């Protein structure tokens, strides 16, 4: 069991790191992993500057900035994992050979997710650093609760990887436009995660989606860890203690993990029925 | 107990559902790729699947390697049901498809191979020695540390062949492995595959091809497959022997003057294939006996067709195919 896990997970993570961090061209790699996310938070910075003249709390600025910087992980890990499997199929034409190898595809994807996490960390780190240095975001690394930060990060990464495995399994069965799925889901869930506005601002019928999404609790925990529990935040989850947020996140991670396992089996069967494992989508 | 058959299929069928075009209101249509395929390949056999484009060769391989679910019937590989227990089949098999360039372009040849060896749980030493050995054999040794993206298509295919054999599978599936390779490389690859299979008596090979000569040269037994059906299955020698009583003639004629249509009704003409060419037409005739050639020559001369060349020859697998399908492989490909 463990051996089978290791011989799949580590090579997959290594492969992901090799193909996603193109060190042969560090400049391009840097542009893609850093400048792009920074450009996207700049919009936020300008927006916030415009609004804050009317007297919004600068501590809330840090809260929102962090939410956006950390949300990069969602695109990197969740959407990224579902790209990995399409890349394997269509760009490298290697998926069929992976598929007939004695490995577990979810474990393989977990390895690829780990590589996406590492390249994502680069982007998140640079974005947060840029926030502190250039955009006067009041974050004080010395005051952060690092053990809490890493615990929340680990849970979040696992959960996002599970969601990526689900999306990846689904994309394999789509005949047209599979490339849009990961990105669309990541963008859609952005609105339901409390990254930029409290989910209680959503129409009442849509709010349950936000409360079911692990990102909501994960972002809150990560922000509390970095900013300190007492600092300004959206009121949505203010009543929850750190422990209960951890409890919910852990339960959701477990739930999505199980779901990933079940849905992978289901969509794997559909993909084999339709003959999609080595198909080329019309892109 | 070791299973007697490396590959065993029972009433295997596969239907693809394809979406129709706009005019057909995008309704799902069914395309039959395989129908009622019953094959038994004993362990240690070098088995060939011979058929034109679209015959169903790749579909059959995809089912056997657990990539594709059968629609009807079942298939066992090394004694395990491929649809029910794919995880029991996978450690024992490998596959190489020709005519495509797969692999991670940013990785070197050695890294690509190393990666797959890891997935099969191969240890460091075995991996290293086998990679070196196989790269040497296919002539890629000096490219071991080249990025795959810098290799030509043919060299990438050689790497892919090494990937397939690297794990020392019990059963290897080769889907047109020489497709896209030049003459010399194809010959080397065929030689390598033959040696590999001969080195251990329990190694089983399933090879698909539409090169008659390849099937003839390599395979212990050949199944001739067309439009999803297995038409016949035997050793190349036995298949050809069935035509021993028939007489096979090759003719070059110019001009043909439209005689061809008359041949169907000539007594003693079983099958014929007509290939129009530059300034002359070639005819392959399968006759029930030598005597029938007289009628053919008569018809040609009455139509003032000039015979440039007439030759009697030994039957080939191509003739077996013509006899079974009613047209040449080339014609079948055009129609498929
Ligand atoms: N994914 C698919 N969807 C729909 N039809 C398919 C699909 N794959 C194959 N087919 C059809 O199934 C039939 C058999 O195809 P297959 O690829 O198995 O033939 P083949 O013998 O390998 O041909 P070739 O020599 O060209 O490789 C063909 O009619 C083909 O059009
Ligand atoms: Mg084929």
**Least confident range of A88-102, A154-168, B246-260:** B246-260
For residue A54, the model assigns a pLDDT of 55
What is the share, in percent, of chain B residues with pLDDT greater than 90? 59
Q: What is the pLDDT of residue B31?
A: 92
Six token digits for residue B247: 């007489």
The pLDDT tens digits of the residues spanning B287-323 come to: 888 888 888 888 888 888 888 899 888 888 888 888 8
Longest dimension (CA), chain B: 75
- What's the pLDDT score for residue B36? 96
| Structure token pair of residue A65 | 């900035």
Least Cα distance to B122 among B68, B61, B176, B166 occurs for B166
Q: Which of A93, A100, A175 sits opposite B65 (nearest CB)?
A: A100
Domain boundaries, given as residue ranges, for chain B: 42-67+81-235, 245-313
pLDDT higher than threshold 90 for residue A85: yes
Q: Is the pLDDT of residue B263 over 70?
A: yes
- Residue B336 predicted with pLDDT over 70: no
Say if A281 falls within a structural domain. no
Task: State whether A98 and B120 contact (CB < 8 Å).
Answer: no
Asked if B195 contacts B2 with a C-beta cutoff of 8 angstroms, the reply is no
Judging contacts by C-beta atoms under 8 Å, the chain B residues touching residue A264 are: none
Q: Is B21's pLDDT higher than 80?
A: no
CB–CB of A163/A182 below 8 Å? Answer: no
Complex ipTM value:
0.90
Q: What percent of chain A has pLDDT over 70?
A: 96
User: Which residue lies with its CA nearest to atom 27 of ligand 1?
Assistant: B53
Where does B167-282 have alpha helices with state H? 183-199, 212-218, 236-241, 260-263
A220-229, B252-261, B288-297: range with lowest mean pLDDT: B252-261
Supply the angle between the helices A146-171 and A179-190 in degrees, to the nearest 10: 140
pLDDT of residue B259: 74
pLDDT of residue A38: 79
Site from A88, A172, A267, A272 to mutate, B interface, most B CB atoms within 10 angstroms: A272
A272 and chain B: CB distance < 8 Å anywhere?
yes
Angle between helices A58-73 and A105-134 (to 10 degrees): 150
CB of B85 within 8 Å of any CB in chain A?
Answer: no
Instruction: Give the residue, by CA position, lying nearest to ligand 1 atom 11.
Output: B33
The answer to whether residue A277 neighbours chain B at the CB level (below 8 Å) is yes
- Over 70: is that where the pLDDT of B215 sits? yes
Q: Is the peptide bond before B255 cis (omega within 30 degrees of 0)?
A: yes
Q: Is A201 domain-assigned?
A: yes
pLDDT of A208 reads 92
Spell out the residues 6+ positions from residue A211 whose beta carbon is closer than 8 angstroms to its own.
Answer: A199
CATH classification number, B245-313, choose in 3.40.710.10, 3.20.20.80, 3.30.70.260, 1.20.120.610? 3.30.70.260
Atom from ligand 1 closest to the CA of residue A279: 1
Topology of domain B42-67+81-235, CATH = Rossmann fold (3.40.50)
Each residue's pLDDT tens digit, B28-47: 889 999 999 999 999 999 99
In chain B, residues with a C-beta closer than 8 Å to the C-beta of A93 are 100-103
Query: Looking at the partner chain, which of A15, A97, A277 has a beta carbon nearest the beta carbon of B163?
Result: A97
Q: How far is B63 from chain A (nearest CA, A)?
A: 9
B283 vs B272: CA distance, rounded Å: 7
Please report, for residues A188, B23, B202, the alpha-carbon distance to residue A263 in angstroms, rounded to integers and kept in the order given.
Answer: 21, 35, 38
Q: What does the pLDDT read at residue A35?
A: 78
pLDDT of residue A51: 65
**B280/B283 Cα distance (integer angstroms):** 10
- What is chain A's alpha carbon radius of gyration, rounded to the nearest angstrom? 19
Q: What is the DSSP letter of B305?
A: P
Q: Does residue A244 lie in a domain region?
A: yes
Could you report the per-residue pLDDT of B133-189, keeping only the tens digit for each?
999 999 999 999 999 999 999 999 999 999 999 999 999 999 999 998 999 999 999
Interface contacts A/B by beta carbons within 8 Å: 80
Tokens 């399933």 sit on residue: B206
Measured between CB atoms, which of B106, B116, B118 is closest to A18? Answer: B106
CA distances from B94 to A14, A226, B76, B99, B144 (A): 23, 50, 15, 17, 21
* Average of per-residue pLDDT across B245-274: 81
Nearest CA in chain B to A277: B67
Mean residue pLDDT of chain A comes to 89
Give the span between the Cα atoms of B16 and A278, in whole angstroms: 14
Note the pLDDT of residue B1.
43
pLDDT(B2) > 70: no
Per-residue pLDDT reduced to its tens digit, A122-158: 889 989 998 888 888 888 888 899 999 999 999 999 9
Band of residue A23 on the pLDDT scale cut at 50, 70, 90: low
B292 near B267, Cβ under 8 Å? yes
Name the pTM for this structure. 0.90
Say whether A102 and B62 touch across the interface (CB within 8 A): no
Residue of B nearest to A90 (CA): B102
Cα A268 to middle of ligand 1, angstroms: 21
Query: CA B82, CA B75: separation in Å to the nearest integer?
Result: 6
- CB of A53 within 8 Å of a chain B CB? The answer is no
Residues near A239 by beta carbon (within 8 Å), at least 6 away in sequence: none
Interchain proximity A7–B104, CB inside 8 Å: no
Q: Which residues surround ligand 2, an ion (CB under 5 A)?
A: B 57-58
A134 contacts B142 by C-beta, under 8 angstroms: no
**Domain presence at residue A279:** no
The count of domains in chain A is: 1
CB nearest B69 (choices: A96, A98, A272):
A272
Q: In this structure, what token pair is assigned to residue A236?
A: 């949505």
Neighbouring-strand partners of residue A176: none
Mean pLDDT, range B95-117, rounded to an integer: 94
Q: How far is A254 from chain B (nearest CA, A)?
A: 25
For ligand 1, residues with CB inside 6 Å are A 275, 279; B 16, 18, 31, 33, 51, 53-59, 210
Domain that holds residue A36: 2-273
Q: What is the predicted pLDDT for the residue at B14?
A: 97
Smallest Cα distance from B147 to chain A, Å: 11
Nearest to B81 by CA among A276, B70, B41, B39: B70
| pLDDT range class, residue A56, cuts 50, 70, 90 | low
Q: Tell me if B104 and A92 make a contact (CB, 8 A cut-off).
A: yes
Summarised one tens digit per residue, pLDDT across range B136-151 is 999 999 999 999 999 9
Q: Which residue from B13, B28, B58 has its CB within 8 A of the most atoms of ligand 1, so it is best to mutate?
A: B58
Chain B nearest C-alpha distance from A92 (Å): 5
CA of B224 to the centre of ligand 2 (A): 14
> Does residue B192 register a pLDDT over 80?
yes
What band does B203 get if pLDDT is binned at 50, 70 and 90? Answer: very high
Residue in B97, B105, B116 nearest the CB of A101: B116
């Amino acid at each position: 069991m463990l051996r089978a896990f290791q011989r799949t997970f580590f090579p997959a993570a290594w492969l992901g790191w090799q193909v996603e961090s193109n060190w042969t061209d560090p400049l391009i790699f840097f542009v893609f992993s850093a400048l792009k996310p920074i450009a996207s938070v700049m919009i936020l910075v300008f927006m916030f500057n415009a609004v804050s003249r009317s007297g919004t709390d600068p501590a809330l600025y840090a809260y929102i900035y962090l939410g956006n910087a950390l949300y990069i992980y969602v695109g990197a890990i969740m959407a990224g994992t579902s790209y990995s499997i399409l890349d394997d199929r269509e760009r490298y034409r290697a998926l069929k050979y992976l598929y007939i190898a004695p490995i577990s595809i979810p474990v393989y994807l977990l390895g690829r997710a780990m590589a996406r996490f590492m390249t994502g960390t680069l982007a998140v780190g640079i974005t947060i650093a840029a926030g502190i240095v250039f955009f006067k975001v009041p974050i004080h690394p010395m005051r952060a609760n690092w053990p809490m930060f890493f615990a929340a990060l680990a849970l979040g990464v696992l959960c996002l990887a599970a969601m990526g495995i689900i999306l990846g399994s689904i994309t394999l069965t789509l005949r047209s436009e599979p490339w849009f799925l990961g990105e669309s889901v990541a963008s859609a869930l952005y609105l339901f995660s409390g990254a930029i506005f409290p989910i209680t601002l959503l129409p009442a019928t849509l709010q349950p989606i936000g409360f079911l999404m692990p990102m909501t609790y994960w972002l809150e925990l990560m922000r509390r860890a970095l900013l300190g529990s007492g600092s300004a935040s959206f009121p949505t989850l203010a009543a929850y203690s750190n422990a209960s947020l951890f409890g919910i996140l852990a339960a959701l991670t477990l739930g999505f993990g199980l779901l990933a396992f079940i849905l992978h089996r289901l969509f794997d069967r559909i993909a084999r029925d339709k003959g999609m494992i080595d198909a080329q989508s019309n892109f | 107990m070791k299973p007697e058959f490396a590959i065993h299929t029972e009433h295997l069928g596969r239907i693809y559902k394809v979406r129709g075009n706009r005019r057909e209101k995008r309704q799902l249509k069914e395309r039959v790729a395989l129908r009622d395929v019953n094959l038994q390949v004993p362990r240690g056999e070098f088995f060939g699947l011979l058929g034109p484009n679209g015959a169903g060769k790749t579909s059959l391989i995809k089912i056997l390697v657990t990539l594709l679910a059968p629609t009807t019937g079942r298939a066992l590989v090394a004694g395990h049901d491929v649809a029910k227990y794919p995880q029991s089949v996978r450690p024992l098999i490998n596959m190489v498809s020709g005519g495509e360039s797969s692999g991670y372009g940013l990785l070197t040849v050695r890294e690509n191979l190393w990666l797959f060896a890891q997935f099969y749980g191969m240890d460091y030493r075995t991996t290293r020695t086998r990679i070196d050995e196989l790269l040497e054999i296919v002539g890629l040794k000096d490219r071991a540390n080249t990025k795959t993206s810098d290799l030509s298509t043919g060299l990438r295919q050689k790497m892919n062949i090494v990937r397939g054999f690297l794990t020392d599978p019990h059963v290897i599936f080769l889907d047109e492995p020489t497709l896209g390779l030049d003459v010399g490389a194809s010959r080397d690859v065929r030689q390598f595959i033959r040696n590999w299979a001969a080195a251990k008596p329990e190694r089983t090979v399933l090879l698909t091809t539409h090169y008659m000569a390849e099937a003839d040269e390599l395979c212990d037994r050949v199944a001739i497959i067309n439009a999803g059906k297995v038409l016949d299955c035997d050793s190349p020698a036995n298949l050809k022997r069935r035509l021993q009583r028939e007489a096979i003639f090759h003719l070059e004629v110019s001009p043909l003057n439209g005689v061809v249509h008359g041949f169907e009704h000539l007594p003693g003409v079983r099958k014929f294939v007509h290939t129009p060419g530059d300034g002359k037409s070639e005819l392959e005739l399968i006759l029930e006996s030598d005597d029938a050639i007289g009628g053919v020559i008569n018809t040609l001369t009455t139509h003032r067709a000039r015979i440039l060349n007439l030759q009697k020859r030994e039957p080939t697998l191509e003739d077996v195919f013509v006899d079974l399908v009613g047209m040449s492989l080339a014609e079948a490909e055009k129609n498929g």
